[in-house]
Amino acid sequence: MDDARHIVAPDDGMPTFAAPTTFARVPRLDQVPGADITIVGVPFDSGVGHRPGARFGPGHIRSASRLLRAYNPAADVSPFAAVQVADAGDLPIGPFDIPLAVQQIQEQAISLRRNGSRLVTLGGDHTVALPLLRAVHADHGPVAVLHFDAHLDTWDTYFGATYWHGSPFRRASEEGLIDHDASMHVGIRGPISCPEDLVDDGNLGFRILTSRQFARESLDSLIERVLARIGDRPVYVSIDVDVLDPAHAPGTGTPEAGGLTSRELLEVVRALDGRTVVGADVVEVAPAYDHAELTGIAASHLVYELISVMARSGTP
């Protein structure tokens, strides 16, 4: 990117609470000639099976991001100066027809990625991960999927629906979008329908680190297992905020007790430094259930750390 045309977040004396409503005050996509990393919102939650409201997540995450600053000391990078980051706003997605919405997300994601930009997506429910993975697959083939969640999201149909927020990674595996030798769930916990769910999940190409393991094993050893699993493959990172304990992220549709702390999750994301992250999403933020912006703040910091990892790695 030509430095003369590189625009970073403004530093014009404007108070953060009165700043532009783009993520972390970065420029809009139409204000720059192109973006290395594009932030995009997908305000869609028609695939939820319990509490709705994640369609309002993108705006909530952006609002909570206003306090983010230029330099990330944990990653030793100024991400917005290292690469051009821009906010494309929210995609226009129809809320009534899920297969049509999946197609609309896929087509628009492919268009945004056309000039080599990597997407960091603000959800929206987890259904959106499937069309985003299709867009990534078009450029990279099967990728490692690092999926942070309380739930497997490899179930099949629900009330006859093939596409819903519990099925994106089953569909992705069936379509050949994921690398079966390098994909992993992190933070899984809570009751499931039957033991066979775990067998199916393994056959679909995933290995699991449970939330309970974070209580019993060292964080460094768990990070080593994550990095060993994904190896040097191109990796897509998908973060459902319900991977966090409800004490850290109450604003979500399917909360489960006993989750990760925000500190633990941020450390795992930071450990991806040096890996080729080709895309990412942070989903399932439902602001109606949030308190004191706890969930929005956690989500915005996760997006910031993902951008920092991507900025340090350069162009994949």
Cα within 13 Å of Cα(88), Cβ side: 25
Confidence of residue 9 (pLDDT cuts 50, 70, 90): confident
List pLDDT tens digits, range 89-115.
999 999 999 999 999 999 999 999 999
Among the listed residues 51, 265, 56, 296, the one whose alpha carbon sits nearest the alpha carbon of residue 148 = 265
- In the chain, the number of structural domains is 1
Calculate mean pLDDT across residues 77-94.
Answer: 97
Domain that residue 193 falls in: 3-313
Among the listed residues 216, 136, 213, 149, the one whose alpha carbon sits nearest the alpha carbon of residue 176 = 136
pLDDT of residue 116: 94
Largest Cα separation within the chain, whole Å, is 58
- Measure the CA–CA gap between 79 and 59, rounded to whole angstroms: 21
Among the listed residues 229, 207, 230, 209, the one whose alpha carbon sits nearest the alpha carbon of residue 218 = 209
Reading the block at residue 156, the tokens are 């099949």
- Measure the CA–CA gap between 2 and 84, rounded to whole angstroms: 10
Tell me, what CATH number does 276's domain have?
3.40.800.10
- Measure the CA–CA gap between 196 and 168, rounded to whole angstroms: 18
